[in-house]
Structure 1
Amino acid sequence: MTVDNEVKLVIFDKDGTLVDFHRMWLPWAEETVQLLENATGRPVGPAVYKTLGVDPIQGKVSMGALAEKTLTGIRADVSATLQTFGISAIDADAIVERAVPEASKGQTAPVCDLQKLFRELRSLGCKTALCTADSRVATEHQMRVLGIANLLDMVVCGNDVGIIPKPSPHCAIQICKRLDVALNQTIMVGDTIADLKMGRVAGLRCTVGVLTGVGNRDTLKEYTDYFVRMLYTF
């Protein structure tokens, strides 16, 4: 691995960047659709899948609420979808609050040897941070499972108090301030438009798009300085 010696901090997204997004979240999407159809008694599944950005036939997640928003944002979008079936806003919100799970029961599968990656970055003098739309409870559990909880200098989650979610530059700027690293010495690594736009708008040194998640070169190119096929080639 080679990292510019001017780089002092690498901020990573989690799902789709460090862990396999599809294996993690497809089971969640399937469970959510089943719970919503049971709760509403209506065939809302195809519309909800579309809102989430999930193709249940291909078994893939693409750009959409699931890949790019916090749980609060996902629930708001799903509620709006239910309302197109004639369900009132109040009822839709209540159904979503009960039926949309907070955490996924899917598999936490790393995209590469993450312990080796983070130890090598540390040996090169780079601090590391995680910025995810996922909840703190779920994220901390996954970091322990992956064995990297003690290798990260900072973790920011989607339900932390006071955050402004990606693609706002807020989280990237706050991470740099907390870790005392200049914006132009920091890079952002992610697999979605939200990840990379955050880095670009924040004025980070560069953005790196990984192609193991939900994005591809065409969808990510506007906000990506460099692409890598797999994380450990970074």
Structure 2
Amino acid sequence: MTLNNNGVKLIIFDKDGTLLDFHKMWLPYAENTVQLLEKATKLNVGPAVYKTLGVDILAGKVSMGALAEKTLTGIREDVSLTLQTFGINPTEADSIVQGCVPEASPGQMAPVCDLPKLFEVLKSMGILIAVCTADSRAATIDQMNKLGVTRFLDDVVCGNDVGIVPKPSPHCAIQICKRLNVELKEALMVGDTIADLKMGKVAGLRASVAVMTGVGTRDTLKEYSDYFLDDVSGLPQLISKFEDTKRG
């Protein structure tokens, strides 16, 4: 039986923390980055860099911070500023960062659920699917291919695409809707950070849906979230019951 889409024609997904386990993907990246930076600077910059990235290395968790909320350019800028607090001049700090803050993560690509199955159900409901991520295009396309979901995607926007304005700006959401000929009120934003959900709110999408598989918590995300899900697998059921579902 096909579920009712209740007027939802498009879902815009964040990637890391929403479709993929954020911690398994990006903790190894943070550790590798710190090792490279400490080797290059010969200084104990690790604690300060972890703080900038939003990483609690002892707890093995990533929280709100540059790593979860910014593009590669933004991450490199923040790390450069952190290095400068150790007396490294801006030009040298920028040069070090270019060589020591990689584009791709060496971490594990762990989907939060059976994504091909989920996307197939959403397609059967007449819903278009887009991905909007701060990650690079090369890494994103490679991951989507390996996950076997590329054929389901109607649009993909990445952090290093020319001309984008990163989340939480509404720019990407508006452009995706325009390209796919979908009204803003017919689209949902699904993500795990304030930046994801605020983008949906500011753009005027029908709803912003928070998932608990990334760096955000109910408390940190409640201001910009209309609905909460344990993970994205609950989307078809949520959408089919929209008329009866109350905020939160």
Pairwise TM-score range, normalised by the shorter structure:
over 0.9
- Counting matched residue pairs gives 234
1:91-123: per-residue Cα shift (whole Å, max 9, x none)?
Answer: 100000111111001111100000011111000
Q: Which residue of 2 aligns with 1:96?
A: 97
Q: Check conservation: 2:168, 2:199, Cα contact below 8 A.
A: yes
Aligned equivalent of 2:49? 48
| Aligned-partner Cα distance in 1 for 2:20–2:121 | 18
CA RMSD of aligned residues (A): 0.9
Match of 1:38 in 2: 39
Partner SS for 1:223: coil
- Partners in 2 of 1:64 and 1:155 — Cα distance? 23
Structure 1 SS opposite 2:30? helix
Percent of aligned positions that are identical:
71
Q: How many Å apart are 1:4 and its aligned residue?
A: 3.9
Pairing of 1:78-227 with structure 2 (within 5 A):
78-227=79-228
Unaligned stretches of 5+ residues in structure 1? none
Matched residue, 2:239: none
Task: Summarize deviations over 1:160-216 as a string: whole Å, max 9, x none.
Answer: 011000000000000000000000000000000000000000000000000011000
In structure 2, the residue matched to 1:77 is 78
Q: Distance in 2 between matches of 1:94 and 1:70?
A: 18
Q: Which residue matches 1:231?
A: 232
**2:242 alignment partner in structure 1:** none
Structure 2 length normalisation: TM-score?
Answer: 0.93
The AA in structure 2 aligned to 1:73 is G
Unaligned runs of 5+ in 2: 236-248
Distance 2:168 2:203 in 1: 9
Moved over 6 A (4+): none
Partner amino acid, structure 2, of 1:196: L
1:65 aligns to what? Answer: 66
